[in-house]
Structure formats: structure tokens, C-alpha cells
């Protein structure tokens, strides 16, 4: 490593430690920011000598990164950005902090994927899904797919692990030389009614899909979820025991196994390590309070709300919605989410924008009760499980109320 | 499409113009009709399907430049919507859908012909209008203040053949002075996405126009009123 990069690494680690010591944050961004100021090529230098997997997509990347890291640890030490700091500053901090490791698994914000591929020359890139995020618009989904497609075309040696169920992802990945397809399902279809290649409608039936105007269609998946397990490319079925809830996380586990396989890790070696993963950056964490077992689920965009309904048990459910800057100021996305899966559960609502949610639930025919605080919700539900589904800052608020440092 | 007593609602081209929860307007209209025991059929007409001309209420939503231009082309070529409007159908047109009801609009830097069903034209503003929108609705419509969220780069200039839907008291709307437009039974607004969630009185106006009633049975709007109160206050003085 050049001297400039060594100095930058050292200063970066010091800044991260100072930030943590001062209680200003977990140091996952500031260290990288300072390091990159000193040496703009620092991420390239820190990536050198490591076998790296990048994980990107709109939803599930933090969890999949955590699971793939656990799987790769079979082989040795793995650097990772486990706090979800998924831009180059976060990658720089994570690699600087980890010191020398043979492997790294990095979660990458979908907007930065091209840059991070250039900087880190990864062995594997995993593409999970693309759908509208709160602040984004539908058109940006196909623009993002186009950016991914170009980034991969510039790196034909990268091995791609991609979701066969998402037309946007398939189009982004299909030009690449080495693609391993996985099937993790796609619950959200609203951003891929129209083929990104031809502009014609996409038809769907029985889990299959195809463009009505060009040859783009669902490729055969080598890895897929079946019952409570995952089928590998040889056709062997493996039972997957996870502490993380829902079929969505089975799909994330299938992706993690496919990524690990590119490094030579066999499912049978990786599976016990996936079972050990209990929570991911506070998500899915369970907290006991006054005899209630509270589970926290983060839902940050329409697709992830649908996934959260799938993960949650048939138990009393608290929904909390804010519309602060990180959430997006606009709540109209509430009408892109079908809340009807909650009709059979006792539903409580709270958050800055509880009234928007109230009107939405009325229209959706979902009975609910409004509470002012999280504590009020706790008092209203019987002993047992309380599922909490919240968007970004509402999730942070509830975590703070639970007074839990994760 | 079906019997005369059924209220027929068409959502125009959800495959092209459905950027921000536009489905909400259809759901809200259908629910408010059902609460008055008015039988409803709702149709989503994709851009590769012919546009029926016999429905009672037409909804068109917001979207990006490309889909907006494509929607205008297809609606002009199809002609079904023009026939429906000439037969007296009610329309709620939002954002991009509102612009394309005029004589012309700008998409991807190009001036595009609109449907010409509202006497207005739209161009680009210097800044994007994003945030809470509030206005006093034309008193002839007899409605409480408009509240909405706007997110658009366009500015709209009204001709003598339409009236402003509202006088702006917060936000931008057409040009910081007026917001939206109306003529006959056509309403256009920059209050984007599920505009009717915050403005149930507009939903009821469309229903009254469609069934030719002077009034409708009142419904419980406790939550909508709370939401309105909160958002009208949030828009500032």
C-alpha cells in the first residue's frame, strides 16, 4: 500500500475511534470520509488483495450482506459494513477498521454500485431487486437498471449472482458473462409492468414472466427457495433454519448461499452459520417489555411493507409512519401498499403521520386504533407478541423509546 | 359496460401514469360511492387497450415525461376519452394528467400536443415545486379549502375557457397565484397522488356530477377531517 494510503488508513481509523469515543456515532462514516479526503484512491488500495462480494438492490441488502458474511466466515476473516453504511465512505471505514482480511462482503447503495465495482474489483456482485424507493420515481428504476447493465458490461470478469424473478435485474445482468440466477420471488410488480428493453408489457403467470415484445424472459434459476429450504444448482434440497422471519429471508439466505458458493463454500458448511444470525442492525430484534415480546420490522418503501406483512405473525401489530427528510416528505406511497393482509390482526397506529395512515386503512377496510405513544400501544395489547412495522425515522424513534443500543 | 344504474369509474393508463399512489383516488371514489349504496364498477384501462367512452368518471394520474407524452399520443389517437367528455363524463386529472388535458405541455424539452379538453397550456418552471399546497377553492364549487402535496416542474397558464380550481394560499400550483383548473365536469390539479384522501369533498363533487345529484348522504369523515386539519395547519399561514 502506498505511503499516502497508509497515512489515510491510520487517520481514518483514528477518526472513527474518536467519533465513537465522543459518542457522536458508530464511526462507520466519518473515518472513511476523512480517509478519502487524504487519499481519494483509498478504497481501491484497501480493497487490494481481498476477495470481495458486493451486495446491492433496493431491499434486503443489509440482511443478505449479514448472511453472506456469516457464510463466508467458513473460509476465514471477513470485513463488512455491518451498520448499513453503504456508500464509499462506509466501505472505506469498514475495510480500514477490519485491517487485513482475505475476504470482504460489502452492502452497496444501488446508486453507487458502478463506482464501487470500479474501486474494489470484486469477485462477485449480487443483484437482489429494483423497485421504487420513497424518494424515487418509477422511471428511475429503469435508469438504475441501465446503470447496472453498463457497469457490469465494463467488468466482464465479475461473477454475477442475480434474481431471476425481477425483470429489471435480469435485464441489468443478462449481458454479463458469468451469471448465476437465484429465485427469491418478487412480491412487488408495480415497477416492472413495462419491459426495460423493449417498452412492451410484461406478462406474468405461475411465477414465470416474459416480455410480450422482445426475447427478454425469466431465466432458469440455479438456486431457489422450496418449502422451508433452498435447492442448490445440483438439485439438492437443504433445510434452512433461520432466526430471521418470513419467506423473504429464506430468499435472502438462498442469495447468501449462492454468493458463498462462488467462493467455494458449500451450503452444508454455511447453513449452521446462517442459523446463528439473530438480528441485523437492530432489524428483527426482539425486546421483552412488560410481558410483551416486541419485534421490530423496518419497512422503508412499498415493496418492503409487503415483505414485512409476510414476515409478521398473526399477532397485534403496531404501524408507525413518519415523513421526515430521510423518509421522504410525501406520504402518497401509502396507496401503493395493500394493507389488507392486516385485516385479521388487531392493528394500532402511531407516528407523525398517523392520520394519513388512518385514512388509508379506512379505505383499505382495515380496522385500527390510534395511539399517541409506543408505551400506550404496549398497554393496549395482551401479553405475548407485538409486531412493530415502521418506516425509517419511526423505526429509529421506537428503538430509542425501547432504550436499546444495537 | 353494464346496467345503467351502476357507476362506472375508469382509471386511465395506470401502466404509464401512476407514480405516486394514484390508485388511491379510484379506491376512495369507489368506497364513498359504496357508502351511499351506489353500485360501482372500476376499470383500469392500460395503454394497449381501447379507451371506453361510456363510463361516468375518468381518473388520470401523474408520471414522468416519457410516459406522459406517450399517454397523450395514445389518447389522441384513440379518441374514446374525447367522446366520453363530450357526452358529459366527469374527470379528475392530476399533475402530468392535468397538463396533458391542455393544448400543449413540455416533456423532455419538447413541446407536445395535449388533448385540448381544457383551455390551458403548460411549460417548465425555473424551479421544481415540492411541498405542501393549499388553496381556497372557487366559491362556485362550494367546497372547503384544498390541501395537497405537490411535486412538479411545470407551470400552467390558464386561458379564458377555464376557471382556476383554487387561489393559492401556500405552495405553487399553476404559478403561485392559482392552482388547477375546472370547466364543465373536468377538474385538474397539481395536488398529486391520492388527492382525494385529503379532499373527500372533491370526491363527493365528482360523484354528484356523475349521478346528477345535488347532495349525498353524509358519511363519517372523522379521520379525513383530522388529516385535513393537520395538513392545512402544516402548510402555514
Closest CA to A302 of A276, A327, A266, A273: A327
From residue A83, give the alpha-carbon distance in Å to each of A90, A101, A339, A406, B165.
9, 18, 29, 10, 48
Q: Between residues B122 and A327, which one has the greater pLDDT?
A: B122
Is A329 within 8 Å of B46 when comparing Cβ atoms? no
Facing residue for A139 by CB, picked from B21, B27, B66: B66
Averaged pLDDT, B177-189: 98
Compute the average pLDDT of residues A373-398.
94
Of A145, A133, A161, nearest to A196 (Cα)? A145
Interface of B with A in 203-232 (CB under 8 A): 223-224, 226-227, 230
Among the residue ranges A82-91, A167-176, A189-198, A251-260, the one predicted with the least confidence is: A189-198
Distance, in Å, from the CA atom of B81 to the CA atom of B54, rounded to the nearest integer, reads 9
Domain containing B32 — which CATH number? 3.40.50.880
- CA of B193 to nearest chain A CA: how many angstroms apart? 6
Residue carrying the nine cell digits 417498452: A199
Cell triple for A378: 404496549
Q: What is the pLDDT of residues A159-200, one digit of tens each?
A: 999 999 999 999 999 989 899 999 986 667 666 777 888 877
Write down the pLDDT at residue B67.
85
Q: Give residue A406's pLDDT.
A: 41
Give whichever of A308-312, A361-365, A392-396, B13-17 has the largest mean pLDDT: A361-365
Q: Regarding predicted confidence, which is higher, B73 or A22? A: B73
| Per-residue pLDDT tens over the stretch A273-301 | 999 998 887 788 888 988 999 999 999 88
pLDDT averaged over every residue in chain A: 89
Residue A134 has φ and ψ, to the nearest 5°, of: -50, -45
Question: B37 pLDDT exceeds 90?
Answer: yes
pLDDT in tens, B145-173: 999 999 999 999 999 999 999 999 999 99
**C-alpha–C-alpha distance, residues A328 and A318, integer Å:** 21
Domain-embedded: residue B170: yes
Identity of the residue in B48, B193, B223 whose CB atom sits nearest the CB atom of A332:
B193
- Please report whether residue B2 resides in a domain: no
Domain spans in chain A, listed from the N-terminal domain onward: 3-275, 286-401
ipTM value: 0.96
Put simply, whether A201 touches B (Cβ < 8 Å) is: yes
pLDDT of residue B1: 43
Query: How many H helices and E strands in chain A?
Result: 14, 17
In whole angstroms, what is the distance from residue A287 CA to residue A400 CA?
12
Q: Which residues of A touch B198 (CB under 8 A)?
A: 359
pLDDT of residue A85: 85
What integer pLDDT is reported at residue A23 of this predicted model?
A: 52
Cβ <8 Å between A331 and B223: no
Q: What is the pLDDT of residue A92?
A: 92
Q: Which residues of A99-125 are buried (b: 16+ CB within 10 A; e: fewer)?
A: eeeebbbbbbbbebbbbbbebbebbbb
Note whether B226 contacts A139, CB cutoff 8 Å: no
Provide mean pLDDT across the span B21-46: 96
- Nearest residue on chain B to A369, judged by CA atoms? B223
Half-sphere exposure of A6 (CA within 13 A, CB side): 3
Strand pairing report for B163-170 and A124-127: unpaired
- Local structure of A352: helix, strand or coil: coil
**Which residues have a Cβ under 8 Å from the Cβ of A343 and sit 6 or more positions away?**
A365, A366, A367
Indicate the Cα dihedral angle B92, B95, B101, B104, nearest 10°: 170
Task: Examine the pLDDT at A146 and tell me if it is beyond 50.
Answer: yes
| B28 CB neighbour count, 10 Å cutoff | 24
Per-residue pLDDT for A134 more than 60?
no
CA dist., res. B13 & res. B59, Å (int): 9
Instruction: Check whether B226 has a pLDDT greater than 50.
Output: yes
B204's CB contacts (< 8 A; 6+ apart) are: B32, B216
For residue B224, which residues of chain A lie inside 8 Å, CB to CB? 359
Say what the pLDDT of residue A6 is: 75
The Cα–Cα gap between A30 and A32 comes to 5
**B39: nearest Cα among B90, B12, B10, B3:** B3
Write down the pLDDT at residue A112.
Answer: 93
A403 falls in which pLDDT band (50, 70, 90)?
A: low
- 10 Å CB burial of residue A235 (0-12, 13-18, 19+) is exposed
What lies within 8 Å, CB to CB, of A206 at 6+ separation is none
How many Cβ atoms from other residues are within 10 Å of residue A151's Cβ? 20
| Cβ partners under 8 Å of residue B153, min gap 6 | B124, B125, B128, B129
> Is the confidence at residue A244, as pLDDT, over 70?
yes
User: Looking at residue A16, what is its pLDDT?
Assistant: 67
Cross-chain residue pair A194–B224, CB shorter than 8 Å: no
Distance CA B235, CA B229 (A): 10
Strand A223-226 relative to strand B57-60, pairing: unpaired
Is there a contact between B148 and B133 (Cβ–Cβ < 8 Å)?
yes
> Do β-strands A292-298 and A384-390 pair in parallel, antiparallel, or remain unpaired?
parallel
Is A135's pLDDT higher than 50? no
Does residue A27 have a pLDDT over 70? no
CB pairs under 8 A between A and B: 71
Range of the domain at B154: 7-234
C-alpha pair distances (Å), B19 with each of A89, A223, B106: 32, 33, 18
Q: What pLDDT score does A138 carry?
A: 44
Instruction: Read off the pLDDT of each residue in A301-307 and give the average, rounded to a whole number.
Output: 88
Helices (H), A221-286: 246-261, 267-275
- Helical residues (DSSP H) of chain B, grouped into ranges: 23-35, 65-78, 80-86, 96-99, 195-198, 200-211, 222-234
Residue A352 is among the residues annotated as catalytic for this protein = no
Q: Which of A236, A330, A338, A375 is catalytic?
A: A330
Which of A139, A201, A333 shows the shortest C-beta gap to B20? A333
The pLDDT value recorded for residue A53 is 97
With beta carbons under 8 A apart, name residues in chain B contacting A194. 15
Residue of B46, B64, B223 lying closest to A359 (CB–CB): B223
Beta bridge partners of A216: none
pLDDT above 60 (res A398): yes
Overall fold of domain A286-401: 3.90.190
Give me chain B's average pLDDT, please.
Answer: 94
Residue A20 scores a pLDDT above 70:
no
Q: Do B197 and A335 touch (CB under 8 A)?
A: yes
Domain count across chain B: 1
pLDDT band per the 50, 70, 90 thresholds, residue A18: low
pLDDT at B237: 52
Q: What is the CA radius of gyration of chain B?
A: 16
Residue list for the binding site of B for substrate = 128
Angle at B69 between CA B64 and CA B72, to 5 degrees: 120
A143 touches chain B (CB under 8 A): no
Residue-wise pLDDT for A51-79, tens only, equals 999 999 988 999 999 999 999 999 999 99
- Taking CA atoms, A203 is separated from A127, A188, A216, B19, in Å, by 22, 14, 11, 20
The CA R_g of chain A, rounded to the nearest whole Å, is 21
Say which DSSP state A373 is in.
Answer: S
Q: Which range has the worst mean pLDDT, A197-206, B87-96, B226-235?
A: A197-206
Q: Give the HSE-up count for residue B149: Cα atoms under 13 Å, Cβ half-sphere.
A: 21
To the nearest whole Å, the CA of A76 is away from the closest chain B CA by 46
**What is the model's pLDDT at position A36?**
77
pLDDT of residue A24: 54
What are the Cα distances from residue B119, in Å, to A97, A120, B107, B163?
63, 56, 19, 9
The pLDDT, as a whole number, for residue B49 is: 93
- CA A388, CA A402: separation in Å to the nearest integer? 12
| pTM score of the predicted model | 0.81
Beta bridge partners of A51: A103
The pLDDT tens digits for A114-131 are 999 999 999 999 999 988
Q: Which fold has domain A3-275?
A: 3.40.1190
**Length in residues, chain B:** 237
pLDDT of residue A405: 39
Amino acid at each position: 500500500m502506498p505511503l499516502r494510503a497508509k497515512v489515510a488508513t491510520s487517520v481514518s481509523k483514528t477518526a472513527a475511534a474518536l467519533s465513537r469515543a465522543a459518542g457522536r456515532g458508530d464511526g462507520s462514516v466519518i473515518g472513511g470520509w476523512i480517509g478519502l479526503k487524504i487519499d481519494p484512491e483509498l478504497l481501491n488500495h484497501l480493497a487490494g488483495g481481498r476477495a470481495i462480494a458486493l451486495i446491492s438492490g433496493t431491499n434486503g441488502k443489509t440482511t443478505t450482506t449479514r448472511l453472506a458474511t456469516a457464510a463466508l466466515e467458513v473460509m476465514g476473516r471477513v470485513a463488512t459494513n455491518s451498520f448499513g453504511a453503504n456508500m464509499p465512505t462506509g466501505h472505506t471505514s469498514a475495510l480500514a477498521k477490519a485491517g487485513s482480511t482475505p475476504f470482504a462482503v460489502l452492502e452497496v447503495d444501488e446508486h453507487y454500485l458502478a463506482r464501487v465495482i470500479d474501486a474494489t474489483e470484486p469477485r462477485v456482485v449480487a443483484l437482489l431487486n429494483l423497485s421504487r424507493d420513497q424518494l424515487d420515481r418509477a422511471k428511475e428504476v429503469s435508469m438504475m437498471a441501465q446503470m447496472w447493465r453498463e457497469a457490469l458490461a465494463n467488468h466482464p470478469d465479475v461473477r454475477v449472482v442475480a434474481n431471476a424473478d425481477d425483470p429489471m435485474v435480469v435485464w441489468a445482468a443478462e449481458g454479463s458473462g458469468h451469471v448465476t440466477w437465484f429465485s427469491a420471488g418478487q412480491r412487488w410488480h408495480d415497477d416492472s409492468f413495462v419491459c426495460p428493453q423493449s417498452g412492451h408489457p410484461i406478462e406474468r403467470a405461475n411465477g414465470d414472466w416474459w416480455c410480450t415484445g422482445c426475447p427478454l424472459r425469466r431465466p432458469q434459476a440455479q438456486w431457489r427457495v422450496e418449502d422451508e429450504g433452498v435447492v442448490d444448482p445440483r438439485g439438492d434440497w437443504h433445510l434452512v433454519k433461520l432466526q430471521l422471519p418470513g419467506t423473504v429471508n429464506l430468499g435472502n439466505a438462498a442469495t447468501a448461499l449462492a454468493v458463498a458458493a462462488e467462493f467455494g463454500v458449500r451450503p452444508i458448511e454455511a447453513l449452521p452459520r446462517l442459523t446463528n444470525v439473530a438480528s441485523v442492525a437492530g432489524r428483527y430484534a426482539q425486546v421483552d417489555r412488560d410481558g410483551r415480546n416486541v419485534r421490530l420490522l423496518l419497512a422503508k418503501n412499498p415493496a418492503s411493507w409487503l415483505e414485512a406483512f409476510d414476515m409478521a405473525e398473526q399477532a397485534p401489530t403496531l404501524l408507525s409512519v413518519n415523513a421526515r427528510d430521510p423518509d421522504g416528505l410525501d406520504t402518497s406511497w401509502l396507496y401503493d401498499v395493500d394493507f389488507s393482509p392486516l385485516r385479521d390482526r388487531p392493528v394500532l397506529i402511531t407516528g407523525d403521520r398517523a392520520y394519513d395512515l388512518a385514512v388509508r386503512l379506512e379505505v383499505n377496510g382495515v380496522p385500527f386504533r390510534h395511539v399517541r405513544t409506543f408505551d400506550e400501544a404496549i398497554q393496549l395489547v395482551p401479553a405475548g407478541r407485538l409486531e412493530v412495522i415502521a418506516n425509517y425515522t419511526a423505526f429509529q424513534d421506537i428503538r430509542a423509546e425501547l432504550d436499546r443500543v444495537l | 359496460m353494464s346496467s345503467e344504474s351502476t357507476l362506472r369509474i375508469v382509471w386511465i393508463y395506470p401502466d404509464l401514469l401512476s407514480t405516486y399512489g394514484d390508485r388511491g383516488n379510484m379506491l376512495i371514489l369507489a368506497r364513498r360511492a359504496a357508502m351511499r349504496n351506489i353500485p360501482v364498477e372500476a376499470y383500469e384501462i392500460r395503454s394497449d387497450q381501447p379507451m371506453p367512452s361510456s363510463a361516468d368518471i375518468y381518473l388520470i394520474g401523474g408520471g414522468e415525461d416519457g410516459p406522459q407524452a406517450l399517454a397523450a399520443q395514445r389518447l389522441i389517437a384513440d379518441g374514446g376519452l374525447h367522446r366520453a367528455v363530450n357526452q358529459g363524463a366527469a374527470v379528475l386529472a392530476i399533475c402530468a394528467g392535468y397538463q396533458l388535458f391542455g393544448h400543449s405541455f413540455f416533456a423532455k424539452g419538447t413541446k407536445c400536443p395535449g388533448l385540448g379538453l381544457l383551455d390551458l397550456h403548460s411549460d417548465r418552471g425555473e424551479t421544481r415545486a415540492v411541498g405542501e399546497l393549499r388553496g381556497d377553492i372557487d366559491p362556485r364549487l362550494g367546497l372547503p379549502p384544498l390541501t395537497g402535496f405537490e411535486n412538479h416542474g411545470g407551470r400552467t397558464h390558464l386561458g379564458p375557457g377555464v376557471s382556476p380550481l383554487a387561489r393559492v394560499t401556500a405552495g405553487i400550483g399553476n404559478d403561485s397565484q392559482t392552482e388547477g383548473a375546472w370547466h364543465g365536469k373536468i377538474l385538474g390539479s397539481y395536488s398529486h397522488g391520492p388527492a382525494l384522501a385529503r379532499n373527500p369533498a372533491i370526491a363527493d363533487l365528482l360523484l354528484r356530477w356523475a349521478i346528477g345529484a345535488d347532495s349525498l348522504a353524509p358519511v363519517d369523515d372523522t379521520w379525513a377531517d383530522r388529516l385535513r386539519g393537520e395538513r392545512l395547519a402544516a402548510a402555514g399561514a
